Amino acid sequence: MKALTPTHATVLRAVGRCGTTVEAARQLHLTQSAVSKIIARSESALGVPVFDRRDGRLILRSEARGLMSALGHVEDEWRALRGAVGDVRSGRALPLRIASTPSIGQGLIAQAIRRLVTDYPQARIELIMGDAPTELSKGAADLGVMFSPRVTDDIALTPFAHASIIALVREDDPLARCRQVSLPELRNHRLICFDREKSPLGWLIARAHEQAGIDYAPFMTVPYSISAAHLLARQGDVILIDSLLTQAQRFEGLVRLDVTPELPITICLMTVRSRPLTRLAARFVEILVRDRQPG
């Protein structure tokens, strides 16, 4: 015996409403013989007769009233499911969750999202500013994008873009006349920068200081480049940050200096090896990584 299907429910409900297979067939755009066959199959699947045949009409049996109401729920739920499948397809049901830093989020990710929403205009996207490896590991993010992060074995890293460390000074600072600056030239300036333990960029900048024989001693540490840029406007002499921030955002009154020798940084995409991506996330990865040549 075959199981009852949502199509059976629709046909039984239509026959219940119309009272004849001819009218039900007309409403459902089926042939009358198809409707008759479906009634027979449905009654066989359910194991009970649903209609009495009287004078060429099909009359709902009194004991089948509860069944007909249950079939109404089948129709409603099936219709709701079809609508929900559309939401899954469009990216509305499963948001794309990206963990990143503000400077990457405002630059590379914003550009990629602009392209993604042309393919998926109804997609829902959550940009999470936080520690990407942690957000990924706890399942709060689908993708992470960070500068050379330290990650666990379950997280796959894909380098896809390069940037470098730059210095920002106020335009009234004598250094602002230079186009480039070396770390030894910053020796006597008050530095706002990243913590060497908490930030991969902080670790990189601290190592470059050590290699240049200088103490790495920022007077203020910040989690993000953007925080450093906002603080520089009020206090401090110089900040060392990633070059992506100034590509994405202008800061009035601040001047960018290249750091020599160059301190290159790599931007990596992070995915969880054991967790498949949604189609929306996979398309975002394509836009972000595959459509972009490193460098």
Partner 1 sequence: MRLGALQVIDAFVRLGGTGEAAQGLGVSQSAVIKSLHMAEKELDLSLVAIVQGRLTPTPEALELSRLARPAFGALRRAHHEADMIRVGMADRLRIATVPGLAHSILPPAIASARRDLSDRAAVEVMFDHVRDHLSANEVDLAISYGPMATEGLRDIVLRSSPLVCVLDEAHPLAAHDTLSREVLEGQRLISYGPDGISLADSFQDALGRIGLSDQIAITVRHTDSACHLAREGVGIAVVDGFVISSSLTQGLAVRSLDESPLVTAFAHHRDGAPLDHAARILLEHLVGAGA
Q: In this complex, which beta carbon is closest to partner 1, that of residue 78 or of residue 251? A: 78
Element (H, E) at 162: strand 155-170
CA distance 133 to 144: 7
| DSSP 3-state of 271 | strand
Closest CA to 288 of 263, 264, 276, 270: 270
Cross-strand partners of 265: 163
Closest CA to 249 of 279, 228, 266: 228
Q: In this complex, which beta carbon is closest to partner 1, that of residue 6 or of residue 223? A: 6
With CB under 8 A as the contact rule, the residue among 17, 31, 59, 82 that binds partner 1 is 82
Counting residues that bind partner 1 (by CB under 8 A) gives 39
In whole angstroms, the minimum distance from the beta carbon of 46 to partner 1 comes to 4
With CB under 8 A as the contact rule, the residue among 40, 70, 110, 217 that binds partner 1 is 70
- What secondary structure does DSSP assign to 186-237, as a single string? GTTS-EEE--TTT-HHHHHHHHHHHHTT-----SEE-SSHHHHHHHHTTS-S
Q: Does 123 bind partner 1 (CB under 8 A)?
A: no
Q: In this complex, which beta carbon is closest to partner 1, that of residue 88 or of residue 110? A: 88
Q: Does 279 bind partner 1 (CB under 8 A)?
A: yes
Within the chain, how many helices (H) and strands (E) appear? 11, 12
With CB under 8 A as the contact rule, the residue among 178, 220, 277, 287 that binds partner 1 is 277
Q: Does 48 bind partner 1 (CB under 8 A)?
A: yes
Q: Does 63 bind partner 1 (CB under 8 A)?
A: yes
| DSSP 3-state of 210 | helix
Q: Does 137 bind partner 1 (CB under 8 A)?
A: no
Give the interface with partner 1 as residue ranges (CB under 8 A). Answer: 3-6, 9, 46-48, 63-67, 69-71, 73-74, 76-78, 80-82, 84-85, 88-89, 93-94, 142, 273-279, 282
